Amino acid sequence: MNFLKYPLVALLAALVSSWVTYRIAQRAPEEIHRPAPSAELRPAVPAVDTPAPGVASVDTAEMERLMRENADLNAQLADTRARLVAHGAALKQTRDELDELRRPMIADLLSSTLRADLKSGEVVVTGGYKLADGRRLYAFAKPSVEQIDGANVVMIEGRYVTLTDEVGKSVGLDNLATNAANTLQHGEVWVPDEEAAVFEKLANTQGTDVMTYPSVSVRPGRSGTINIGNTQLRVTPTLAEDGDGLGMELRLEQPQEAAAAGTAAATPGQETAK
């Protein structure tokens, strides 16, 4: 009996071992094909705070508001800079004009400055100051508006007249005679017939010199200068806004020469015309 006992035990052990091996073989494919837990396959992702609902839209609206404000400020800055540039240009022009007006006061000049409104073809007369020889100089300027290459151009022609007080009185120029060396707003506007009648009387008058100066074409708003010897006439025409008529600025000047012996020199000063 003891002899049979050991083989039976061995057989039983072999059966148990075979059954265990079989179960292991059955479970092995399941273990191989079973997906790994998600926690083991996915990398760790740091936690991110999720913004509360509506936060993103509020930030976008604020950004758009700031961009609009920035655009408005840039526009205001550009406008301010443009105004400063324009103001600086206007200030410079005003200073230049004041310096030009003051120049006869600090230089030894004879001058007459006038701004007048007139119609095309009418005549502006200025001057009347006394020269070193005792006679007086008058400048006549006749502007006329013309079309050149489709643009308005002001053609200015005229004459210088030098005469005595007696002759000036005979033709009505004594109203502009002045003992001041420098005058402002000193002049008259004549119609063409009046000018023609005066020069007809002066044609053969002894002691009277008439000189026609070269005509000059000037665009409205710009200046032209006519020089004859030491006499200079600067003209600046402008067109009226309503298209009827024009404005004319005249600046007549020349160096003041010493009076001849026995002749009274012009008295320095400044006079405003009647």
Per-residue model confidence (pLDDT) at position 109: 87
- Residue 195: phi, psi to the nearest 5? -65, -45
Q: What's residue 149's pLDDT?
A: 84
The per-residue pLDDT for range 67-107, each reduced to its tens digit, is 999 999 999 999 999 998 988 888 887 877 676 666 666 66
Q: Are 235 and 187 in contact (CB under 8 A)?
A: no
Q: What is the pLDDT of residue 271?
A: 36
Mean pLDDT by 10 residues, the chain (274 residues): 51 62 58 50 53 59 90 92 88 74 70 92 94 94 89 92 94 93 92 93 89 92 92 93 84 78 36 34
Q: What is the pTM of this model?
A: 0.59
Q: DSSP code of 134?
A: S
Residue 204: its pLDDT value, please?
Answer: 82
How many CB atoms are located within 10 Å of the residue 171 CB?
Answer: 19
Query: How many other C-beta atoms are found inside a 10 Å radius of the C-beta of residue 239?
Result: 17
Rounded Cα–Cα distance for residues 56 and 267 (Å): 85
The count of other CB atoms within 10 Å of the CB of residue 271 is: 18
Burial (0-12, 13-18, 19+ Cβ within 10 Å), 265: middle
Tokens of 261: 């012996």
Query: What is the DSSP secondary-structure string of 16-78?
Result: HHHHHHHHHHHHHHHHHHSPPPHHHHSPP----PPPPTTHHHHHHHHHHHHHHHHHHHHHHHH
Report residue 188: phi and psi, to 5°.
Answer: -145, 160
Rounded Cα gap, residues 221 and 108, in angstroms: 29
Contact predicate 181/256, CB 8 Å: yes
**Of 194, 258, 198, 246, nearest to 219 (Cα)?**
246
The tokens describing 89, both together, are 């240009």
Cα separation values, 19 from 15, 25, 26, Å? 6, 10, 11
Q: Where are the alpha helices (DSSP H) in the chain?
A: 2-33, 38-41, 55-106, 165-170, 192-202
Strand partners, 225: 234
> Which two tokens mark 5?
């006992």
Total number of residues shown for the chain: 274
Task: Quick: pLDDT tens for 134-172.
Answer: 999 999 999 999 888 888 899 999 999 999 999 999 999
Give yes or no for a contact between 226 and 216, defined as CB atoms under 8 angstroms apart.
yes
pLDDT of residue 270: 35
